[in-house]
Each structure stands twice: as structure tokens, then as C-alpha cells.
Chain A
Amino acid sequence: MNELPQQLANGLILGAMYGLIAIGYTMVYGIIQLINFAHGEIFMIGGFGALTVYLGLPSGFSLLAAIPLMIAGGVVCSVAISVAAERFAYRPLRGGPRLAPLITAIGLSLALQQAVWMWYPNATKDRSFPQFKGEAIDIFGASIQRGDLFVIIAAPVCMLALGLFVSKTRAGRGMQATSQDPDTAKLMGINTDRIIVMAFAIGAAFAAVAAVAYGLKNGQIGFRMGFIMGLKAFTAAVLGGIGNIYGAMLGGVVLGVAEALATGYMSDVPGMELFGGGAWKDVWAFVLLILVLLIRPQGLLGERVADRA
């Protein structure tokens, strides 16, 4: 079990999920310098959206065929809530003190958790999520559960699409311009309000994809799952350099792999016998964050703040 390929695979799978969620933190921060603490709940709602679609399908519908529909359902729910939050909770506070939207985000996070707890049927406890049946697959000496293949495929596809969108399309260029200098972006004719909505929407869609991956991996979803996943994804975004989309993905993978390696090997390090295993993985994740912030405060791919015009 404690073999290196297996640990690396576990880390990559977890890290790809962190990375997908981290995109939402980093894009919104890059454009309006808001840490959207409700983003973890946007992820959670994506999971419930996908589950709802699955439960609505006729019995006998194959899970593989259901996946695209579940993604669509999750994306619709996440994007709708996220865009509504931007429009009605954050936009009225724009231009005000920076603390106001931050506190709003925390409040929104709690409100969304409670809303799902109260109104989603039987969501007071974890709800089970459909699973792919069948043997694990062997890849390079690591055994990969069938459900985990989803994120291994989805994360690179999403990243590639986002990279192309940002660098090759007119709206993507407008997004970069808005993040570098919002007032001047307006002088170019860019509707920066619309760009901000777009950033929230893309982040929410990616979070919904991550939520489907989470459900397929863990077999259950719950109203509280956004908290720790959101915190880890935020850590990944900071680790990679907040504001940088490639940094978010890299930060996610680095964090996931570090957690997996610490879980697998920390107890083999002399003197650290007590600090290995899954119980300590969150500790090591945040130790890594503190180390990176001490040595390279702008994150792995981040640019120095002085570079910002």
C-alpha cells in the first residue's frame, strides 16, 4: 500500500480536485481582490445539483451516460448561485472597504450550508453518491479506482480549455486586461462588470466538475464538504500564487501530492513516528503553506505585487 506510485497517484487525484476548485478563488481574487469564502459552498452545491440530476434519471440509466448530465446539472446550480451572489451580495459592496465583502462571503458560506441542510431532502446526513462498479485499474504500478479516472481526465481538459479561452479569445484578453488594470480596461470598451460575472461563473463551473469528482471518489456528499475542501483549495491557490490560473492548478497538485506523501511516509522518518498517517495530513498541508509563504510569499508562480501597475 505504501508504494510510491500509489501515493503519487492518490496525491494527483486529490490535487486535481483542489486545483479545479482553486481556479475559482484565484480568478475572482485576480480581478476584484476578493477572497470568496463562499466558494467552498459553491463546490458543495455543485455536488447536490449533480446528485439531483442523477436521482431524477430513470432507473437502469448507465452512470457513464449520466455523467455529462450530472455535470450539466451541477454546473447550472453552482453558476446560478455564484452569479446571484456576485450580483446581489458582492456587487453592492464594490468600492467600499475591503473587509465588507469578505465578511459577506463568510456569512454567505454559512447561509448556503444551512440552506442545503434545511431544504435539500435528507441532507442533514451525508447522501450517497453513485459509484462506478468494477475492479480498480492498474496504471504504472498504482491501482486507480474507476471513479477516480473522471478527475484524471476532467482536470486537464478543463485547464486546457481555460488556458485557450484566456489567451486566445477576445473575452479572455478582456479578462486579463481587467485583472491588470480595471479602469484602463473600461477605457478600451470592456464591460468590466460582465468580466467579473464571467470570472465567478467559470470558477463555479470548475467547482461543480470538482464536486462530481469528489462524489465519485468518496461515494457520498454532504452539506459540510465545502468547508475543508474550500480551505484546501484556497491554500492551493495561495501556494501557486493567487491570481494565476496555472498557479492554482500547480498549487493543487503540489498540495495533494505533499499530503499523500506525508500520509504514506512521514511515519518512516526517524523521530516522526507519531505524525504520519491520514490523521495528520491536514497539518502537513498547512505546514507546507506556511513554509511557502515564508520562503516565497508571492506563491510558486505568483508575481511580486510591485509588478502590478
Chain B
Amino acid sequence: MTALLEVEDLRVAYGKIEAVKGISFSVEAGQVVTLIGTNGAGKTTTLRTLSGLLKPAGGRITFDGQPLNGIPAHKIVSLGLAHSPEGRHIFPRLTITENLLLGAYLRSDKAGIEKDVQRAYDLFPILGERRKQAAGTLSGGEQQMLAMGRALMSQPKLLMLDEPSMGLSPIMMQKIMETIVELKAAGTTILLVEQNAQAALSLADQGHVMEVGKVVLSGTGSDLLHDESVRKAYLGED
């Protein structure tokens, strides 16, 4: 069986500066795969390229058997690849419901959309309580929930989450991580970028460590969690 997402020798450059220098990895259906690494390692750049916001300088991306190179961002969503971006990027002056409906922009099955909005409220009850409120008035953690709920509204085959725990309180971070575990249990395929390596590796099937644009180490989540160099560099142990 071929992987759902296959990335081969991907290169991305900002002008002359190469931010991603030939990385390869794959995501199988049903898996949670995580990319970890410090700031500037190229994780966010990788996700933004997968979703079509950036153009690759080289390499191949195959999603669900189809090459993604050259397909504009707004068409990639319809293939089943959803991206919850770093910094959440909810639409601040639209209500929570409107934000969720935008996640389903390309769908036309009214009843199904209705049901999925309700499912997002079940997953994150606080969103349901504040559905008429402008999204910009939510707290950081609530905005993160909304960003994840919105990404799920397109019924993706693969959900990409970029730094879902960034800037959140420990309690909120815990809640977000629990939600990811919940989604995984429900069979959602997830590509997770996280700075919180401990949390990410403990729930991931596969992990890849990125450093300055390259994958320097790959393995199962628990392998990496117990790897000495990873523990030193990312888990704050001497």
C-alpha cells in the first residue's frame, strides 16, 4: 500500500536562501506523524509548501496518489489536505460559526455541514457556547480550538497542525493534546508540527527531527523519545 502523503527530496527557497534542503518523509493513512525541531528548522515552511501557499524549488509531493506540484492552494484543500496554520489565523471579525462554515467552503452538502458544525461544538463545547461571538474575542486556546475545528470542517484525509500548543497555558496545551489523541483514536491522519517535542513524540507513530532545513533523525515516536541526542537537544535534559 502506498502512503497517503509522500514527500521526496523537497526543497523550498525564499529568494536565494534555501529553507528546506531536500527532505523526504511519508505519512500513512491513520498515522500521526510529527516534525519536531527548533525555530527556523523549516517545519512551518514544509507545511506551507504542502498546502500550496509556497512553491517548491524542487522535489516531489504526492498526496493520495496525485502529484501536488503546481496545484494552487485553494484546490489542494478539495483533495483532502487541510492545514491549521501556525499562529491560528482565525478570521477575527467573523463569528465562530462563520469561521467554521468557511472551513467547509468547498462543500455543498448542507445537512452534512450542519452536522459537522455540531460535531465541532461537541468536540469543543466552549465554541458552541460562544458561536455568535466574533472569533477575535476568544482567548488563545479557544482560537486554537476554532482553528482545529475549522480545519476539520473540510473533512480532510490528512490534517496538518502547525504548532497547536504555541503560546498556550499548560492547561490549555494539555486540552489541545488530548484532543489530538481523541482525533487519532477516531482514525484521523495527522501531520503535526510541534515545538513541544515531549508531547508530540508521545502521541506520534512516526517522528522526524529537522535541523536547518534537513531531516537529521527519523524513527517511531517512542524511539525518538528515548533517543539520547533528542533528549539532550529537545527535551531539555543534560
| Chain A contacts to B: CB under 8 angstroms | 170, 173-174, 176-177, 180-181, 183-192, 303, 307-309
The listed residue (B51, B91, B98) touching A181 by CB distance below 8 A is B91
B103 near A188 (CB under 8 angstroms)? yes
**Contact pattern, B 118-160, Cβ under 8 Å of A = 1, otherwise 0:** 0000000000000000001000000000000010001000000
Output the nearest chain B residue to A191 by Cβ-Cβ distance.
B74
A188 near B77 (CB under 8 angstroms)? yes
B53 near A183 (CB under 8 angstroms)? yes
- Residues of chain A contacted by B106 (CB below 8 angstroms): 188-189
Q: Which of A192, A303, A309 has the most CB of B within 10 A?
A: A309
**Contact pattern, B 52-90, Cβ under 8 Å of A = 1, otherwise 0:** 110000000000000000001111011000110100011
Output the nearest chain A residue to B103 by Cβ-Cβ distance.
A188
B74 near A173 (CB under 8 angstroms)? no
A184 near B77 (CB under 8 angstroms)? no
The listed residue (B51, B53, B85, B93) touching A307 by CB distance below 8 A is B93
- Residues of chain B contacted by A176 (CB below 8 angstroms): 91, 93-94, 98
Complex Cα–Cα for A89 and B22 (A): 37
Output the nearest chain A residue to B153 by Cβ-Cβ distance.
A188
Given known pairs A173-B94, A173-B101, A177-B94, the reply for A184 and B85 (CB within 8 Å) is yes
Given known pairs A170-B105, A186-B52, A188-B105, the reply for A180 and B93 (CB within 8 Å) is yes
Q: Which of B51, B102, B106 has the most CB of A within 10 A?
A: B102
A189 near B91 (CB under 8 angstroms)? no
A177 near B73 (CB under 8 angstroms)? no
Complex Cα–Cα for A162 and B105 (A): 20
A174 near B105 (CB under 8 angstroms)? yes
Check: B92 CB closer than 8 A to any chain A CB: yes
Output the nearest chain B residue to A171 by Cβ-Cβ distance.
B105
Complex Cα–Cα for A181 and B106 (A): 18
Output the nearest chain B residue to A194 by Cβ-Cβ distance.
B74
Complex Cα–Cα for A307 and B90 (A): 12
Q: How far is the CB of A242 from chain B (nearest CB, A)?
A: 15
Q: How far is the CB of B132 from chain A (nearest CB, A)?
A: 13
Complex Cα–Cα for A190 and B51 (A): 13
- Residues of chain B contacted by A185 (CB below 8 angstroms): 102
Complex Cα–Cα for A259 and B19 (A): 56
Q: How far is the CB of A122 from chain B (nearest CB, A)?
A: 47
Given known pairs A173-B94, A309-B136, the reply for A184 and B105 (CB within 8 Å) is no
A180 near B98 (CB under 8 angstroms)? no
Given known pairs A176-B94, A184-B91, the reply for A189 and B78 (CB within 8 Å) is yes
Return the 7 tightest CB-CB contacts between A and B, nearest first: A189-B77, A186-B73, A189-B106, A184-B89, A188-B105, A189-B105, A188-B102
Complex Cα–Cα for A183 and B85 (A): 10
Output the nearest chain A residue to B53 by Cβ-Cβ distance.
A183
Q: How far is the CB of A67 from chain B (nearest CB, A)?
A: 37
Beyond A187-B83, A188-B105, A189-B78, 5 additional pairs, beta carbon < 8 A: A177-B91, A180-B91, A186-B53, A189-B106, A191-B72
A187 near B94 (CB under 8 angstroms)? no
Output the nearest chain B residue to A309 by Cβ-Cβ distance.
B92
Complex Cα–Cα for A84 and B90 (A): 32
- Residues of chain B contacted by A177 (CB below 8 angstroms): 91, 94, 102
Q: How far is the CB of B119 from chain A (nearest CB, A)?
A: 18
A189 near B92 (CB under 8 angstroms)? no
Complex Cα–Cα for A189 and B92 (A): 18
B73 near A173 (CB under 8 angstroms)? no
Given known pairs A173-B102, A174-B102, A186-B73, the reply for A307 and B78 (CB within 8 Å) is no
Complex Cα–Cα for A188 and B78 (A): 9
Q: How far is the CB of B140 from chain A (nearest CB, A)?
A: 13
- Residues of chain A contacted by B51 (CB below 8 angstroms): 187
- Residues of chain B contacted by A190 (CB below 8 angstroms): 74, 102, 105
B102 near A309 (CB under 8 angstroms)? no
- Residues of chain A contacted by B94 (CB below 8 angstroms): 173, 176-177, 180
Complex Cα–Cα for A72 and B63 (A): 46
**Could you give 20 example pairs across A and B, Cβ below 8 Å?**
A173-B94, A173-B102, A176-B91, A176-B98, A186-B72, A186-B73, A186-B74, A187-B53, A188-B74, A188-B105, A188-B154, A189-B154, A190-B74, A190-B105, A192-B74, A307-B92, A307-B93, A307-B136, A309-B89, A309-B136
